[in-house]
Amino acid sequence: MKKGTRQEIPRKAVYRLSLYLRCLHRLKINSIRTVSSEALAKAAGVKSTQLRKDLTYFGQFGTRGLGYDVEQLSTMISDLLGTNSLQPVILVGVGNLGSALLSYRGFEQEGFEIVAAFDAYPDRAKTRTVKQPIHGMDKMPEFIKEHSVRMAILTVPIPAAQEVTNTLVENGISGILNFAPIVLHVPEDVTVNNVNLAIELENLSYFIQH
Amino acid sequence: MKKGTRQEIPRKAVYRLSLYLRCLHRLKINSIRTVSSEALAKAAGVKSTQLRKDLTYFGQFGTRGLGYDVEQLSTMISDLLGTNSLQPVILVGVGNLGSALLSYRGFEQEGFEIVAAFDAYPDRAKTRTVKQPIHGMDKMPEFIKEHSVRMAILTVPIPAAQEVTNTLVENGISGILNFAPIVLHVPEDVTVNNVNLAIELENLSYFIQH
């Protein structure tokens, strides 16, 4: 996770910036031009001291008493997150969950386009009705390089996950959204975000009992 | 999140216990009966000091030099998480993502059964091929009570999310896995875990650039 002169913003702060951005989008839709730190913090479900601290990553910002300019703050956060232009993403593993994510429209609204999918058995996977092309795994390295893809969604079964990850990383993928319930080993300059839906339910299960 | 004499285990420690449980399951499949804290920690991707600390929630445990008994530790963690028996879960909002989750088999393997789904337009939702019954929202309160359901997966659009949440909570749901990209307001004794796939991608997007 080290590259160039990157300013170190902790992962949790980056998550909160995403939350603020969503709240700012809703404000824009409602034609609201400025927002106080208290109101924005409340909408995002954080404390206003936390919000103000997070926004110091942008240096001196906001006018005392007037609040933040909604448009300006949105642009600054989008620039930082790199979501101002549509980013290409590939998906690997077109099973139940994979094909579901291929037809999920939520990503595109947020600036991510799943441009292609790969599967060990592309013919079987093609029986699923998705709009993206589904290729065999052998086509993946070339595709990644040709389309300068940097991000991948991983929805392969556990036994295949590490090997596929190695191939992704070797070919230039540096961000992986991993749905396989396994710890992936990657070089330091590659980021893996894990989404494990069963673990989320298990966590709830604990809290509803205690 | 307060109820009765609950021992306070932080949310992150509960997540790690879920991870340990998965690693222990894999050891069992491979007929491995005991495991050292170092080996288990490595498999789960945490430090062994962290693992040992997390397991102190179970009191004095493990025999010095012999490691942990895989079977015994699995049972203790499952008991704590409440995943020893199949737990009923309902899903609300049968759109793209909702129907995907209905056909995702990963939950059942982990002790959760989605027993029914609800949608504002059940007839439209029924065109999707899922095995669970899909009911109208008006049937939800009765169903929750009749089947003693405590957990719900929320995949409704943003404008409906808070209202549906209120109905769920009023009827006895105390754990919500929320996919709507909005902050839900719930009473203290209700737990909400948020899964926002777009935010996860956005987070990756930041880290691959910096």
| pLDDT tens, residue by residue, B14-63 | 989 988 998 998 899 889 999 999 999 998 889 999 999 999 888 766 66
Q: Is A99 on the interface with B (CB under 8 A)?
A: yes
A15–B203 CB contact, under 8 Å: yes
| Structure tokens belonging to residue A34 | 């400025």
CB B71, CB B27: distance < 8 Å: no
**Cβ-Cβ contacts under 8 Å for A48 (sequence gap 6 or more):** A37, A38, A41, A42
Residue A201's nearest CA partner among B178, B8, B22 is: B178
In B, minimum Cα distance to A85 occurs at B205
Distance from CA of A41 to the nearest CA of B (A): 11
B204–A191 CB contact, under 8 Å: yes
| The residue type at B169 | V
B205–A100 CB contact, under 8 Å: no
In Å, what is the CA distance from B104 to each residue of A101, A121, A183, A200, A203? 11, 19, 21, 15, 18
Name the E strands within A147-190: 151-154, 175-178
Q: How many CB pairs under 8 A join A and B?
A: 192
Q: Which residues of chain A have pLDDT under 50?
A: 1-6
Strand order in A191-194's β-sheet? Answer: A134-136, A112-119, A87-92, A151-154, A175-178, A191-194
pLDDT of residue B34: 93
Name the E strands within B70-160: 87-92, 112-119, 134-136, 151-154
A1 vs B97, B202, B207: nearest CB:
B207
In A, minimum Cα distance to B209 occurs at A82
| Across B8-22, B57-71, B126-140, B157-171, least confident range | B57-71
Q: Is A104 on the interface with B (CB under 8 A)?
A: yes
In B, minimum Cα distance to A80 occurs at B206
- pLDDT tens profile B82-139: 887 788 999 999 987 888 888 777 788 778 899 999 999 998 777 767 789 999 999 9
Q: Identify the burial level of B165 via C-beta atoms within 10 angstroms of its C-beta, where 0-12 means exposed, 13-18 middle and 19 or more buried.
A: buried
pLDDT of residue B117: 96
Chain centroid to Cα B158, Å, comes to 21
Better-predicted residue by pLDDT, A202 or B8: A202
Distance from CA of A63 to the nearest CA of B (A): 27
A208 vs B107, B151, B183: nearest CB:
B151
Q: Answer positive or negative: Cα dihedral of B115, B152, A20, B12.
A: negative
Distance from CA of A115 to the nearest CA of B (A): 14
According to DSSP, the β-strands at B87-92 and B151-154 are parallel
- pLDDT tens profile A3-28: 444 457 888 899 899 889 989 988 99
| Structure tokens belonging to residue B190 | 């209700």
Q: Which residues of B touch A25 (CB under 8 A)?
A: none
> Which of B9, B176, B204 to mutate against chain A (most A CBs within 10 Å)?
B204
Question: Which H/E stretch holds residue A75?
Answer: helix A70-81
Q: Say whether pTM exceeds 0.80.
A: no
CB A42, CB A80: distance < 8 Å: no
> Which of B23, B153, B205, B209 to mutate against chain A (most A CBs within 10 Å)?
B205
Phi, psi at A158, each rounded to 5°: -45, -50
* Cβ under 8 Å to A: B residues 170-199: 174-177, 181, 183, 191, 193, 195-199
B111–A14 CB contact, under 8 Å: no
* Cβ under 8 Å to B: A residues 1-30: 1, 3-4, 6-7, 9, 11, 14-15, 17-19, 21-22
In Å, what is the CA distance from B8 to each residue of A82, A201, B2? 39, 18, 9
pLDDT of residue B56: 87
| The residue type at A201 | L
Could you tell me the pLDDT band of residue B197, with boundaries at 50, 70 and 90?
confident
- Exposure pattern of B99-108 as b/e (b: 16+ CB <10 Å)? bbbbbbebbe
CB A126, CB A111: distance < 8 Å: no
Residue B90's nearest CA partner among B123, B69, B113, B70 is: B113
In A, minimum Cα distance to B157 occurs at A106
Distance from CA of A11 to the nearest CA of B (A): 7
Chain centroid to Cα B161, Å, comes to 19
pLDDT of residue B97: 83
Measured at the CA of B135, the angle between CA B131 and CA B139, to 5 degrees, comes to 140
- Exposure pattern of A118-136 as b/e (b: 16+ CB <10 Å)? bbbebeebeebebebebbe
pLDDT of residue B4: 40
CA dist., res. B41 & res. A111, Å (int)? 37
Q: Which residues of B touch A86 (CB under 8 A)?
A: none
A198–B103 CB contact, under 8 Å: no
pLDDT of residue A60: 63
Distance from CA of A106 to the nearest CA of B (A): 7
pLDDT of residue B3: 41
CA dist., res. B30 & res. B26, Å (int)? 6
A207 vs B45, B175, B195: nearest CB:
B175
Q: Which residues of A touch B193 (CB under 8 A)?
A: 200, 203-204
pLDDT of residue B126: 72
Give chain B's domains with CATH numbers. 11-80 (1.10.10.10), 87-200 (3.40.50.720)
